[in-house]
Amino acid sequence: MNEFELIQTYFQRDALDPSVILDNGDDAAVFSPRLNCETVVSVDSVIAGRHVPDLCPPDGFAARLIGRGLSDLAAMGATPRYVLLSLSLPTLEVGWVEHFAQRFHQLCVRFGVDLIGGDTTKGPLSAHITVIGDVPKGMAVSRQGLKPGDDLWLFGPDLGGARAYLDVLQNTQADHALWAERYWRPEPQFDFGIALRNVASAMIDISDGLCQDLMHLVERAKKPASIKLQSKMIPLCADLVDRLGTQTALEYALTGGDDYCLLASIPSTARVPEGGHRIGLVVQPENESILLDGQPLPESWQLGWDHSR
Ligand code: ADP
Ligand code: MG
């Protein structure tokens, strides 16, 4: 199968949403923006050997790619609408591509997005996903705006499971179904994101480790602030404590990546959507940016995932 047949067979689908005027198959896609909305757009990469194992199963590759990508829209409080997929494949091996495409389209339907374009080339296994969503005018929730007096909240799955699954991949831990699920199937938290539009003063999705992403909120805040976290309020993935001990469980939850929860600062007077965890407080600046149970974070902790490392 040549490149054009492959694209046509596996990636060109008619768009479902009527806002798409020209879909996938032309030189570029055309869509009309919704009335009184602003467009929210972002791009994300998944590189084999870097963000996923070298030999990556096609369904996992698809799910991580779209889950990670769309999580950025959730973190803005946006409704997801469209995606574009740029794919580099080592060989045009039909079996792998077919499974990848099947899973990708399935998740597009589930998350309510149309695949409106992309690019396909031969090269090392990697993909870039462009995600497009929208919010009512002025309603996007940015990283700026955290301030002393806010509470710090988490919305979404418990933490640390995806980090623990890296140990499974390296054969230092026995397999664990829920850790595998956290790693392979990130769930963008759209419903929480949308519910937090009028509520959060700042928001971010946890992709690089809670503490590191929290630091982005602290650094981008307009007023200096410190954070007081309470370890007993941190939701830990199942069996982390049993298998790794309390200290490592907490380290994985607070510094491991790929959790894709939403982390939001919320004024203490606001009405908070049901289902979140209040994990700490934003206070006037102290010596440390983040205190855990009143103490500085352990020095041995790598704060989070640094893509340049
Ligand atoms: P061009 O030469 O104009 O870049 P291509 O041959 O790369 O055109 O792509 C043809 C059409 O197929 C375009 O509409 C493009 O958006 C779409 N397309 C190519 N690869 C993908 C992909 N992986 N996923 C979705 N659409 C794709
Ligand atoms: Mg092209």
Q: What is the pLDDT of residues 276-286, one digit of tens each?
A: 999 999 999 99
Among 153, 136, 121, which Cα is nearest to 3's? 121
Mean pLDDT in residue range 143-151: 97
Residue among 2, 4, 7, 83 whose CB has most ligand 1 atoms within 8 A, to mutate:
7
Q: Cβ(104) to ligand 1 under 6 A? A: no
Distance 99 CA to ligand 1 centre (A): 19
List pLDDT tens digits, range 180-225.
Answer: 999 999 999 999 999 999 999 999 999 999 999 999 999 999 999 9
Percent of the chain residues past pLDDT 70, beyond the cut: 98
CA 28 to ligand 1: nearest atom: 14
Task: Please tell me the distance from the alpha carbon of residue 284 to that of residue 242, in angstroms, as a whole number.
Answer: 36
Ligand nearest to the CA of 4: 1
> Which residue ranges form the domains of the chain, and what is each CATH number?
3-136 (3.30.1330.10), 150-296 (3.90.650.10)
Tokens 């803005």 belong to 76
Percent of the chain residues past pLDDT 90, beyond the cut: 89
Tokens 């829209």 belong to 73
Q: Are 248 and 164 in contact (CB under 8 A)?
A: no
Confidence of residue 307 (pLDDT cuts 50, 70, 90): low
Quote the DSSP letter at residue 121.
E
Q: Cβ(28) to ligand 1 under 6 A? A: no
Distance 29 CA to ligand 1 centre (A): 10
Residue 309 has pLDDT above 50, yes or no: no
Q: Are 293 and 230 in contact (CB under 8 A)?
A: yes
Mean pLDDT in residue range 220-246: 97
Mean pLDDT across the chain: 95
Tokens 């988490």 belong to 154
Residue among 12, 20, 21, 103 whose CB has most ligand 1 atoms within 8 A, to mutate:
12
Task: Please tell me the distance from the alpha carbon of residue 184 to that of residue 63, in angstroms, as a whole number.
Answer: 7
Q: Cβ(119) to ligand 1 under 6 A? A: yes
Work out the number of other CB atoms within 10 angstroms of the CB of residue 265. Answer: 28
Residue among 10, 11, 105 whose CB has most ligand 1 atoms within 8 A, to mutate:
11
Mean pLDDT in residue range 258-274: 97
Mean pLDDT in residue range 136-163: 97
CA 120 to ligand 1: nearest atom: 20
Task: Please tell me the distance from the alpha carbon of residue 151 to that of residue 172, in angstroms, as a whole number.
Answer: 37
List pLDDT tens digits, range 88-100.
Answer: 999 867 899 999 9
pLDDT of the residue at 306? 57
Using DSSP's 3-state secondary structure scheme, residue 219 falls into: helix
Q: Cβ(118) to ligand 1 under 6 A? A: yes
pLDDT of the residue at 55? 84
Mean pLDDT in residue range 143-172: 97
| Burial degree of 62 (CB within 10 A; 0-12, 13-18, 19+) | buried
